[in-house]
Amino acid sequence: MRFKIQLPLLPLLLSFLLPAVTLAQTFTVKVIRVVDGDTLKVNFQGQPESVRLIGIDTPECRSNAKAIRDSERSGQDLAAIVSQGKEAFVFTRSRVKKGDTVRLETDVQQRDKYRRLLAYVWLPDGTMLNEAIVRAGYAQPATYPPNVKYQTSFQDAAREARKHRRGLWE
């Protein structure tokens, strides 16, 4: 009897879950430039667009408000944070270049509050750039629900980077 009462709720529950699942899309774009360790500028549907790599956070490569907040929060010297940000930028730029064709995969939320496109970036060789940056030790996982599709992969990659003292963990 108990199941008969709950069963009619199943379609209602699925109607709320399915839109979240179907919002993810993929797009093929050309890279215009690497902005910083976790941001690209791409040609998206004929327009230049900023793409923020979902699920990761690299240090800032310029002294700005976020770098100052990160310095205050971590107790780390601002110059050290900016230096690490420049290392992350160089790594990202070594993996993706102007004119490269990449595939963007969105998650549940396509844009952030700054109107940047949020995406997992897939390189032509099938590597996910977001995860490669974390695995090399140049970013930390940064999970912001509802965009959590690869959260576990990023956490595993970060553990591996720390264990092997890669990138920022040297």
Neighbouring C-alpha atoms within 13 Å toward the C-beta of 94: 10
pTM for this entry: 0.85
Distance of CA 157 to the CA centre of its chain: 13
Catalytic residue among 52, 87, 131, 135: 52
Q: Is residue 156 part of a domain?
A: yes
116 among known catalytic residues: yes
Does residue 52 have an active-site annotation?
yes
The SS3 call for residue 83 is helix
Q: Which domain holds residue 123?
A: 23-57+96-169
Residue 67 belongs to a domain: no
83 within domain boundaries = no
Tens of pLDDT, residue by residue over 87-129, are 999 999 999 999 999 999 999 999 999 999 999 999 999 999 9
> Rounded CA gap, 130 and 10, in Å?
35
Closest-CA residue to 100 (of 131, 124, 128)? 124
The answer to whether residue 110 is domain-embedded is yes
SS3 76: coil
Domain count, the chain: 1
Is residue 60 among the annotated active site residues? yes
Helices and strands per DSSP (H, E), number in the chain:
6, 7
Q: Is pLDDT at 1 greater than 70 in this prediction? A: no
Summarised one tens digit per residue, pLDDT across range 23-51 is: 689 999 999 999 999 999 999 999 999 99
The whole-chain average pLDDT of the chain stands at 90
The answer to whether residue 134 scores a pLDDT higher than 90 is yes
The answer to whether residue 132 is domain-embedded is yes
Q: From the candidates 116, 160, 162, 166, which is the catalytic residue?
A: 116
What CATH number should be reported for the domain holding residue 48? Answer: 2.40.50.90
